[in-house]
Amino acid sequence: MALSEFEIGYFVGILVGEGHFGGDGRQPQISLRMHTDHERLFRWLEAHFPNAKLYGPYHHGGRSYFQWMARGACLRDEIVPLLDVWLQPELDGKAHDRYLAMKADYARVLSGGQAG
């Protein structure tokens, strides 16, 4: 499902403000964890990025949240190309730097190589 420019901007803004760019030591991932009050947003992510995973809702420590994770082919083929165009350092240097660090740390995997 193609995203409008508004939807792309909204998606990038959510990742900049709430997302985590990192990995587990073997493969890169982008994760988003938010309160269950934001369930509609997570359902939107499920609909637009069906190859990513939605976990939860989780309830512990007095908190309730969902966690969305993009990794593997979804990250490499769908999200990285989008962020390469739309996540600009002029808009948020810190988020852009975190994104570039994830890409550098996992360059081999993101280029189609195997997780090491």
Binned at pLDDT 50, 70 and 90, residue 42 comes out as: very high
- Determine whether 70 is exposed, middle or buried from the number of CB atoms within 10 Å of its CB (0-12, 13-18, 19+): buried
Distance, in Å, from the CA atom of 23 to the CA atom of 110, rounded to the nearest integer, reads: 12
pLDDT at 74: 97
Domains and CATH numbers, the chain: 5-108 (3.10.28.10)
Tens-digit pLDDT profile for residues 49-87: 999 999 999 999 999 999 999 999 999 999 999 999 999
Mean pLDDT for the stretch of residues 104-110: 95
Contacts of 90 (CB under 8 A, 6+ apart): none
pLDDT at 114: 65
Binned at pLDDT 50, 70 and 90, residue 2 comes out as: confident
Judged against a pLDDT cut of 60, whether residue 116 lies above it is answered with no
In the chain, DSSP assigns E strands to 19-23, 28-35, 53-60, 63-71
**Sequence-ordered alpha helix ranges (H) in 31-79:** 39-48, 72-73
pLDDT at 112: 82
Judged against a pLDDT cut of 60, whether residue 93 lies above it is answered with yes
Tens-digit pLDDT profile for residues 5-40: 999 999 999 999 999 999 999 999 999 999 999 999
